[in-house]
Structure 1
Amino acid sequence: MKALFKQVTAVAAVAALLMTGTGTAAAGESSPWRDCYDGLSCTEIRVPADWDRPGEGTTVTVPLLRIPAREPKLGTLLVNPGGPAQSIPLFAVPGFRDQFTDLAARFDVVVFDPRGLDVTCPAPTPAPLPGPLTESAYDAYAAANAKFATDCTTAAGAARGHLGARQVAHDMDAIRARLGERRLDYFGSSYGTVYGQEYAALFGSRVGRMYLDSALDHTRSEPAAWARAGAVTAERNLFRMARWCAADAGCALHGRDVIALWDRLSATPDGALIVRWAAARIGDDRSWVALTTGLAQAEAGDTSAMTPRPAAPDARLARTAFCADFPFPDRFPAAKRVEAELRVAAPRLGWAVHPWRVSGQCAGLPPIGLNPPAELPAMPRVLVANGDDDPLTPAAHGRRVAAQLHGTYLSSAGNHALYLRGNACVRDYVHRWLWNGELPAPGARCESAR
């Protein structure tokens, strides 16, 4: 993402923020910009913890990082690369900032980390639920999740119950005011598109130009309908991988019937392990070499490639933030019904894809500060692009979001995070839109995944 920053001495400012599109509320003061990450600039803005009650005086901080524009400067572009997670600390990783070098040619690129995601809880989140779901595992997970939330009450502080995208959208408008921009130009990728959708719903008249990459649909509240497109896409990727393997002599299963082998392996005692392992990787074509090699090894009786490795403990609130925006089934029978529906839609693999496994993990979290999906009003100053082969944020999600906003949808080959992964065709359309206000023609498509 980035370029270079010179230190700017900034004045502490009181930012005006629209609460409903008509009223205003005062955001707290921000710190001066300071040098960070080898030449970039960082600051924080302090905002009300609860934008529904801004006068209570309780606040949270929102971290910002700025990459200065190269001339001629058009303005400021607010960016969230997704998650929900912290992205600003990743600027310490060599090469991370390069993803937004082109955007910084014309904009001050300002990256923000959503509120509360810098909180470290006393204990890690419970381990993800494996599928297929069982009632005992589900109930145990719900109890562990409830304990995690309770134990983190003090650490979460004012952020507790205020992590949803509606609160974040208000923060975004406070950032806009702090930066002195009349309108907000915005780039959201992956989960950053949820924040963009919420901002469009609350502050559509203040949007300048918006780009949503790999949109995650925050308009459909029925969980099976929401998850079905990703499940079907994952299943389709399994067949795509089989066709690739038939054509590429370098595939470990070249000359074999990959689908027939899959069916045999998934019916073995290790079948659930194999399905879960593959479901976590099938969304990225670059994983196919490792996937087919692992399947070949499994056929020979070696499932070591599928054996879960110890994961780094996660004591952050990202899953809690997700569950504020997608409060999916919190009882086992409802969750099991959704799993059953996805098995019908995508029986070989799709029912186990990542989006459903994550959204099925809200059990036990307190139902406070929820921001459930809702339909969007028209706000046509938006370009949306999703990859055809992305099961995490499937193309159907992007099309639905674009249609509700009356925006423009750019169809593209490829998987997740098209711009950030360097899809040259998509990047060209995005630059023309953000720099010149030129939207793709109806029916435009990027045929290459790169």
Structure 2
Amino acid sequence: MGLVLATSTAGAAWAEPSTPTPAPIDWAACGDYGGECATIKVPVDYANPSGATLDLAIGRLKALNPAKRIGVLVVHPGGPDASGINPFILRNAIPAESAMRQYFDLVSVDPRGVGRSNPVQCDLDLLEQMPATYPASESEYQTWLAYNAKLSQNCRERTGPLFDHVDTTNAARDVDSIRAALGEKQISFFALSYGTQVGQQYAELFPRNLRAMAIDSNMDHSITSAFRYLQTTTEDFEGSFKAFARWCGQTPACDLHGENVTAVWDGLHRKAAEGTLKDPATGEPITAEQLRVFLFNGMYDPAGSWFEVAATLNALRAGKAAKLPAVATPKAETVSYAYPAIWCSDWKWQVTSFRQLDQYRRQLEALYPHTKLSPFWSDVVYCLGWQAKVTNPQHRLDISGVSPVLLPKARYDVGTPAAWNYAAASQIPKSRILEYDGVGHGQYRNSTCARNHIETYLTTLKLPPSGTHCPPEYPSQPPTSVRAAAEQPLSVTGRPLH
């Protein structure tokens, strides 16, 4: 989950790929979004620019201080299936007092295949049949393969030709089509999570069209090993949980203060794995996977979640937590579901058997005894048997001629682990890591210090000194609603997003 947005320049030895110039933009007021919306026409297939087109939906919030306007800041929504045309992404996530809001026109997008931009469609009844857990047997492994094949074929039929052109390379080219349509020689770019991959590949394709780029909580699209992917995500899950347990022990207002938080969690997880952790009102079991997803989601935003996580674990232990909810079912035959279509266009995993996956699980449970396995196992398993070409496979970035790039990261981040950020920085010339020494995903949100450095760089081009660290910012008092929320249904359904 996350924030995030050619005139070609040719030289004797270097030239950027050309971007078709769309027609002028016809902006119009845009409801709850609070800004302006429009569509631009872009090729479905950039290799065939005169072929079929897509109406790409974009949104804009004009600079609040137009006299000091710097230019356009493209803010990519991430996901990889998040919409950029909603109030949260721009108006709420970047507040009015922000220097970014004051001095930039903020422009975002519903990426191709998402929201208003020809969304990927799949049959709802088929989505409701999706397996829920990491395969525990050969039979479950084969069920996943067959299901993924059937789902991908169904989504292609429901979506049309765009289904085979939703990879991140196309998303990056769409950003340059936006730049060209706006008539901007250069743009600035800000994103977090999956949106950082869009930014990385934009810098690879169009380096001279970037004035500045800050990419927060980075993907590493060079990982080819499924085990390495699972290991890095689980490593930061374990590290985040241990930091949460230490915080609770040091915070008198935490519901588990004075307790062995690790032991409380381990006991609840053991009962869930045995099938004996049940809702006292209905007797229905709470699964280990549900419990891990709940904890995992709570590690994204310590200030907003940690008190609730502790209160909920305490309530579960006392037999007071409410029943886990079922997935909400829209009243429709089809539903938008772009995540695997985009994701599995970008990632190819050399997994050939249940035995291989089961060995990975056993190794990870030995390495990380408290959290066992990151819920991002789904990023690997969803793509096994997927019937679509991997059009943008993993690769090391090949970037040259780009302005300095700022990469804020956390000490532990369940969404984009620390190891990914270091790897991405090593592939981007003139990049600068900004260290947040706490836990969380999206340091613009989690750290006042990091937010100030991000805004300073984007507005003044002044990078923080090399080796800059921002201290952890954890809450000391809970919101008033936390204990009441702890006895409500847990928000654990669905898969986590980057």
Separation in structure 1 between the aligned mates of residue 344 and residue 382 of structure 2, nearest angstrom: 8
Separation in structure 2 between the aligned mates of residue 25 and residue 82 of structure 1, nearest angstrom: 22
Structure 2 residue 136 is the aligned partner of structure 1 residue 112: no
Equivalent residue in structure 2 for 1:127, among 130, 154, 159: 130
State how 1:254-333 maps to structure 2 within 5 Å. 254-268=257-271, 269-270=274-275, 272-273=288-289, 274-285=291-302, 286-300=304-318, 304=322, 307-312=324-329, 315-328=336-349, 331-333=352-354
Deviations 1:131-180 (A, max 9, x none): 46433333223323322222222432231111111111111111111111
Per-residue deviation, 1:391 = 1.1
Per-residue deviation, 1:388 = 1.8
Task: Give the aligned partner of residue 435 of structure 1.
Answer: 459
Task: Give the aligned partner of residue 5 of structure 1.
Answer: none
The sequence identity of aligned pairs, in percent, is 28
Separation in structure 1 between the aligned mates of residue 90 and residue 18 of structure 2, nearest angstrom: 41
Whether the aligned pair in 1 keeps the contact of 2:19 and 2:180 (CA below 8 Å) is no
State how 1:375-394 maps to structure 2 within 5 Å. 375-378=396-399, 379=402, 381-394=404-417
Deviations 1:397-430 (A, max 9, x none): 12221221030010013411222x2632112111
Equivalent residue in structure 1 for 2:163, among 156, 160, 175: 160
Normalised to the residue count of structure 1, the TM-score between the two structures is 0.86
Q: CA RMSD in A?
A: 3.0
Structure 2 residue 149 is the aligned partner of structure 1 residue 149: no
Deviations 1:63-105 (A, max 9, x none): 1111111231111111103112242442289963654762121
Separation in structure 1 between the aligned mates of residue 433 and residue 59 of structure 2, nearest angstrom: 29
Deviations 1:344-385 (A, max 9, x none): 33232051x233333322233213143122111344521011
SS in structure 1 opposite 2:206? helix
Q: Describe the shift of the 1:295–1:92 C-alpha distance in structure 2 as closer, same or farther (beyond 3 A).
A: closer
Whether the aligned pair in 1 keeps the contact of 2:22 and 2:181 (CA below 8 Å) is no
Does 124-133 or 17-26 show the bigger shift?
A: 17-26
Separation in structure 2 between the aligned mates of residue 58 and residue 178 of structure 1, nearest angstrom: 18
Structure 2 residue 28 is the aligned partner of structure 1 residue 34: yes
Task: Give the aligned partner of residue 400 of structure 1.
Answer: 423
Whether the aligned pair in 1 keeps the contact of 2:59 and 2:85 (CA below 8 Å) is no
Task: Give the aligned partner of residue 228 of structure 1.
Answer: 231
SS in structure 2 opposite 1:152? helix
Task: Give the aligned partner of residue 174 of structure 2.
Answer: 171
Separation in structure 2 between the aligned mates of residue 25 and residue 288 of structure 1, nearest angstrom: 45
State how 1:56-67 maps to structure 2 within 5 Å. 57-67=51-61
Whether the aligned pair in 1 keeps the contact of 2:77 and 2:84 (CA below 8 Å) is no
Task: Give the aligned partner of residue 368 of structure 2.
Answer: 346
Separation in structure 1 between the aligned mates of residue 218 and residue 315 of structure 2, nearest angstrom: 36
The total of aligned residue pairs comes to: 434
SS in structure 2 opposite 1:188? strand
Separation in structure 1 between the aligned mates of residue 441 and residue 219 of structure 2, nearest angstrom: 11
Whether the aligned pair in 1 keeps the contact of 2:234 and 2:364 (CA below 8 Å) is yes
Task: Give the aligned partner of residue 192 of structure 1.
Answer: 195
Structure 2 residue 433 is the aligned partner of structure 1 residue 409: yes
Whether the aligned pair in 2 keeps the contact of 1:30 and 1:44 (CA below 8 Å) is no
Whether the aligned pair in 2 keeps the contact of 1:37 and 1:91 (CA below 8 Å) is no
Separation in structure 2 between the aligned mates of residue 323 and residue 128 of structure 1, nearest angstrom: 17
Equivalent residue in structure 2 for 1:182, among 182, 185, 196: 185
Structure 2 residue 379 is the aligned partner of structure 1 residue 363: no
* Paired letter, 2:121: C
Separation in structure 1 between the aligned mates of residue 8 and residue 381 of structure 2, nearest angstrom: 34
Task: Give the aligned partner of residue 6 of structure 1.
Answer: none
Task: Give the aligned partner of residue 486 of structure 2.
Answer: none
Task: Give the aligned partner of residue 81 of structure 1.
Answer: 77
* Paired letter, 2:388: P
Q: Describe the shift of the 1:30–1:365 C-alpha distance in structure 2 as closer, same or farther (beyond 3 A).
A: farther
Per-residue deviation, 1:115 = 0.6
Does 118-127 or 170-179 show the bigger shift?
A: 118-127
Per-residue deviation, 1:16 = 5.6
Does 339-348 or 41-50 show the bigger shift?
A: 339-348
Which structure 1 segments of 5+ residues have no match? 3-14
Normalised to the residue count of structure 2, the TM-score between the two structures is 0.78
Q: Describe the shift of the 1:422–1:265 C-alpha distance in structure 2 as closer, same or farther (beyond 3 A).
A: closer
SS in structure 2 opposite 1:267? helix
SS in structure 2 opposite 1:405? coil
